[in-house]
Every structure is written in C-alpha cells, then in structure tokens.
A and B are shown apart, each in its own frame.
Chain A
Amino acid sequence: MLIISQEVVDAIVAHARRDHPDEACGIVAGPEGSDRPERFVPMVNAAMSPTFYEFDSGDLLRLYRDLDARSEEPVVIYHSHTATEAYPSRTDISYASEPSAHYLLVSTREADVDEIRSYRIVDAQVTEEEVRVVPALSPAPSSDAPASPSQGVTQS
C-alpha cells in the first residue's frame, strides 16, 4: 500500500495537467528505507512526448547525487499517461528498475477525472496496490523520541 499526502498528490496531478498532452514525470523522495514520500521533485520529460517520458541523463545524475547526499531514495516514481489508462505499459515495465519504489501513474485522458493508481514492478511483474491519500503523513519516527508513547494529555 502507498500512503501519500493530499498535498503531494495535488502537486503530481497539477504537474500532469500542466504538461498534458505530453507525459509528465518526477519522483517523491523520502529517507532511505522509510517508505515515506515526503519531498516532491518534478522532473523535465526530456522526450517531450505524449507517449514517452525519460529523465534527462544529466538531470538523473544530479538527482541521484542529491538523494545520496540527503540519504534519501525515490519512494515514488510518477508519470502520466495522457490518452490511456493509468496502467503500466510494456515500456514502463521494461524500464522499471527500482524494486522498492511505488510506480504511480496518473491518467489525464479525462479533463475532469484524475485517475491515480500505484504499482510495484519487480522483475517485470506488476502488482497493483492500494493508494491511501491522507491529509498529512504521520510524524516521522525520530531517534530521540521516547521508546514508548508518552501518556497523558496532548497539548495543542
């Protein structure tokens, strides 16, 4: 299951709508191993095509350098399909190379319907998963937090 904030979903959909009819693409980064899509990173579709997307190779290198420096990984890799359903194509499957990422697809084929679906793609096997959109991600576990939840009144 993918748990993602409304704010990030809105940003992905806005990017997809803006670039329609070309495909839009990007990632949502999060701390390594956290499975938390926290940082929205839209990318340029170097292919500028309604049927193909590709991160520019220089952008890709800078992106991964930046992720490394922040101890982050691509938690979500998103792109849009602009005339077809939000299901991974043969091309999507052959290129998928992050077994721990959620592959999020947005279809913009209907002007007023946002179709958002998420998949794991591992060894060319596609598994659809539930997308749970939450108002905000729950607070990140912090290393200096108490081992057990504190009792008593929550102050606001």
Chain B
Amino acid sequence: MKIPQEIQIRLLREMLRIRLVQLKIESLYPLDEMKTPVHLCIGQEALAVGVCAHLTREDYISSNHRGHGHYLAKGGDLNRLIAELYCRETGCSKGRGGSMHLVDRSVGHMGSSAIVGGGIPIGTGLGLSIQMQKKNRVCVVFFSDGAADEGVLYESVNFAVFKRLPVVYVYENNQFSVCSPISARQAGENIFHSIAPHLMLTRKVDGNSVLEVYEAAGVAVDRAREGLGPSFIEGKTYRIRGHAGAGSDVHLGYRSREELAAWESRCPVASFRHHLLAESWISEESLAEMEKMINAEIEEAFRFAQESPLPCGEDLLQYLYRE
C-alpha cells in the first residue's frame, strides 16, 4: 500500500506534536506545579497516531493511564489537556480527573481508566452501543502489556468476537508493568494470536513504525466498519521513560542501559522524520517551521493552563450525579 505524502506528513506532525508536548511536560514537571502523576508515552507515539489517523471525530476510543498520546491523536483539545495536568477548572475533566483521567466527548474520547485493563470492557461496550444504534462508527481500545495480564481482556475479546462488535483492540506492548518486564509475567505470546482467522483478524506489527501501524489499523478499522467484527493488533514498542513522573529511571537497575539505548535508537519520531527527509517528502526548513508552530501552540496551552482558575473547595460535591 502506498501511503500518500500528505498523510505521511500528517503522521509525522502528529507524532512530533505528542512528543514535544511530553517533553515540555517533563521539563516543567519538577517544578511541582502539575500535581498529578504523569505517565509519559515517549517512544510510543507511533501506535496512537497510526491508529487514530483512520478515525473520525464520531469514532470512539478507550484509553488508559498512559493516555496523553491517545487523547491528542484522537483530536482532544490541547489547552484542556494541559489545564487538567495543572488540575484547573478549565481542564478536560475540570480538575477532577488529573493526568490519568482524560476525556473529550466532542472527539469521541469517552474517558480513560487508571485501573489497568479497566478501559477494555468499556470500549467493548461502546462497540456494543454502536452496533445496537446501527451507527457507522468504530471503537478503538488502547491497552498495554500490563492489561494483557488481566483476565478482563480475555472476557472482553470473547464477547466482542461473539457479537462481531466494531472494536479494534490495540495492544501497546511496551514491555513493562512498572518495573516488571513482560518476561517475568507472561508465559508466551498473547493467546489471541492463535485465534482462528475467521473469528478475528490479528496482527503483530512493529509498534515503532508508524507506517506499519497505519497499514494494519486501516485494515482493522475498515473491517469493523463493514461489520466484520473486531481485530487485535499488537505493536511491540518500548517505554523509554520510567513508569511515572519525569526522566529516566535506568539507575533503578531493572533494565540495562544497553537495552534502553538500543530502543532509543529506534525512536519512532526520529526514524520517520529521517525517512521523510530521505524521500525528499519534507525539507529541513518545513520541518523547522512545523516544530516552531507546534511549540507556539504548546506555549499557549501552558499559559492557558497556568492562568486558569483552580476548582473551588465549595464545589467538591459537584458532579457526583448527573441531574
């Protein structure tokens, strides 16, 4: 499949934007003004971007605690994301959620769960709602290898296959649950790769190659729209930063410097940038211009967040119920 130049440039722009937002968060995090545990997805941008490139605003996603990339790739409002990290009233969750609980209903992001695996059945249920209302939508469920430890994945995928739900399960295998490597937790490759092809499409892709992700997701999303049921895409990637907070955690010793360096050299953003330059599909000048514009947008978002009001203690009980 030949992916048009225009789309490829957009993929790069989206990945770069997510990366730059996170680097900015990381640089300011030590100031302790963002009083919420951030889980950065640096190094994992290709999965969110390559998948969400196929989605419309009406499509749904279900996200997790490491969800800044999903939120932005789906079109979530940047100002409201940063304001949420500053726990402001103008945040996407009005300062009630924090970094792990992002939402933007206007673009089909229906909320992210910080219980590992918790978003999987909810995304499956969103798929059921699409099917029951006969809407031309799909739901993408993003989850990690930690969630693949959970039984709820098995339960949910079984139901989706049984009902032929328009759901795409995107397994972001970043190889770590906090400090535990996947090799210490799972016996072998995920059981759904062994499912009969007529029941569900499964794919394993390089999660650091946005083009591979884009191609596989395109097939999966089309199948879902055509009523052919769910798909299961595993993208192997790597969590470059520590589990939570800013900076490297390589000093903790649960992974080697060599391993980290090897994956850093496979950076999905840098490698794709290199690819587009080599193809002469983008110039250094236009890349610099792109980066400048993104940085201006980020500066504005942080200013918006920092100047926004904090929620009032008096409003503590608000939003428990929808009236």
Question: Is this pair of chains taken from one and the same complex?
Answer: no
B interface list, Cβ under 8 A from A: none
